[in-house]
Amino acid sequence: MRKHIRLFQTLAFFGMLFLYNFANAQPAKNGLTVSVEEVQEDLDYLSSDELSGRETGTEGIEKAAKFIEDHFREVGLRPYFETYRDSFQVGDDAAYNLVGLLEGTDEELKNEYIIIGAHYDHIGSAKAVEGDEIANGANDNAAGTVGVMHLAKQLAEAGNSKRSILFVLFSAEEKGLKGSEHLAEKLKEQGLDLYTMINLEMIGVPMKAKDYLAYITGFEKSNLAGKFNEYSNGEKVLGFLPQAEQMNLFKRSDNYPFYKEFKVPAQTICTFDFSNYPYYHHVDDEAEYLDAKFMASLIEELVPGLSKMANTPTKEIKMNE
């Protein structure tokens, strides 16, 4: 009889322990979790010597493109055009943006589009340091590329975006925003109803002494930052960086051609604050100096705001007068 009592007491104890742990468990945000290991693996590959700095028109960027296409296919994005590739020329070099579609679920709202983009090219080589000439471009902009890839995975797995989302990786940004200029003009000619364009640039390290996670360029041009933070359960995800305005960063990344063509909120999210990373266009811009855990956390923090943007009944994010 005592054995049965002890067995009952043991089962009761573990049952109570299970219920306590279940009640106090912290659920993954949005029911999804961004894998730090996968972020690190993708960063490592895209900024590896094998890709030789991903300069537009080279074998290295071709390898990067195939890697991204495989990811788009794996997470369930359809090609927006006949294939994932949007081809154009930069001088004598063939170049291509990569465009994946997550079609909206609402019959009306799916005709309105959000673009989430980043450039996946880099400069190829830079001033040699100890015999190393490969400018691997980990923060600039393998980090933004990985951000787009993992946002695509998160939002595709959620499967509840009423508006359609284009996930775009641009080539030839380093040649003067050529890829984004090409695609913005093309989509404008086709009559795309663009709601917002969000660009990710250099998100590989956390900012210093800020009360927000990332800044947004052209902060004052729209209500995007305020609405995004509101959508993010009150979290201060996006903020204002004075240097971004002083250096006119709004016009210096792939958001700008979409603003020019569509006159809608088209802005860049970035964490490079001019004090937290010394390797801009440097051969030491390598994955080992980035913070994959921070990146995974930032990507997760962006999901609620982007998801809300894709699901509001009306276009709440607007240009300021």
pLDDT surpassing 60 at residue 1: no
Token pair for 247 = 């250096």
What is the pLDDT averaged over residues 139-144? 98
Query: What is the spatial distance between Cα 294 and Cα 79, in angstroms, rounded to a whole number?
Result: 30
Looking at residue 65, its pLDDT comes to 98
Q: What is the pLDDT of residue 16?
A: 40
Maximum separation of any 2 CA atoms in the chain, in Å: 88
Structure tokens at 202: 């250099």
The pLDDT-based confidence of 23 (bands split at 50, 70, 90) is very low
Pairwise pLDDT comparison (17 vs 137), residue with the higher score? 137
**33 confidence band (pLDDT: 50, 70, 90):** confident
Cα(304)–Cα(224) distance, integer angstroms: 14
> Is residue 301 within 8 Å of residue 232, measured between CB atoms?
yes
Confidence of residue 5 (pLDDT cuts 50, 70, 90): very low
Mean pLDDT within 36-54: 98
Give the 3-state secondary structure of the chain.
Answer: CHHHHHHHHHHHHHHHHHHHHHHHCCCCHHHCCCCHHHHHHHHHHHCCHHHCCCECCCHHHHHHHHHHHHHHHHHCCEECCCCCEEEEEECCEEEEEEEEEECCCCCCHHHEEEEEEEECCECEEEEEECCEEEECCHHHHHHHHHHHHHHHHHHHHHCCCCCEEEEEEECCCCCCCHHHHHHHHHHHHCCCEEEEEEEEECCCCCCCCCCCCEEECCHHHECHHHHHHHHCCCCCCEECCHHHHHCCHHHCCCCHHHHHHHCCCEEEEECCCCCCCCCCCCCCCCHHHCCHHHHHHHHHHHHHHHHHHCCCCCCCCCECC
Residue 183 reports pLDDT greater than 50: yes
pLDDT more than 70, % of the chain: 90
> In this structure, what token pair is assigned to residue 311?
């699901």
Distances (CA, A) of 33 to 168, 229, 234: 22, 20, 20
Q: What mean pLDDT value characterizes the chain?
A: 92
Provide the b/e sequence for 58-87 (b: ≥16 CB within 10 Å): bebbebbbebbbebbeebebebbeeebbbe
Given pLDDT bands bounded at 50, 70 and 90, which one contains residue 234? confident
pLDDT single digits (tens) 280-310: 999 999 999 999 999 999 999 999 999 999 9
Which CATH code is given to the segment(s) 32-309?
3.40.630.10
| Per-residue confidence (pLDDT) for residue 321, from 0 to 100 | 83
Is it the case that residue 27 has pLDDT exceeding 50?
no
**Which of the residue ranges 9-23, 82-96, 297-311 would you say has the lowest mean pLDDT?**
9-23
- C-beta separation of 268 from 250 below 8 A: yes
What is the pLDDT averaged over residues 159-179?
Answer: 98
Question: How sure is the predictor about 12, in pLDDT bands with cuts at 50, 70 and 90?
Answer: very low
Is the pLDDT confidence value at 14 over 90? no
In this structure, is the dihedral angle defined by the CA atoms of residues 300, 306, 310 and 312, taken in order, positive or negative? Answer: positive
Q: What is the pTM of this model?
A: 0.90
Residue 12's identity, in one-letter code, is: A
Residue ranges covered by each domain of the chain: 32-309
Query: Quick one: average pLDDT of 269-290?
Result: 97
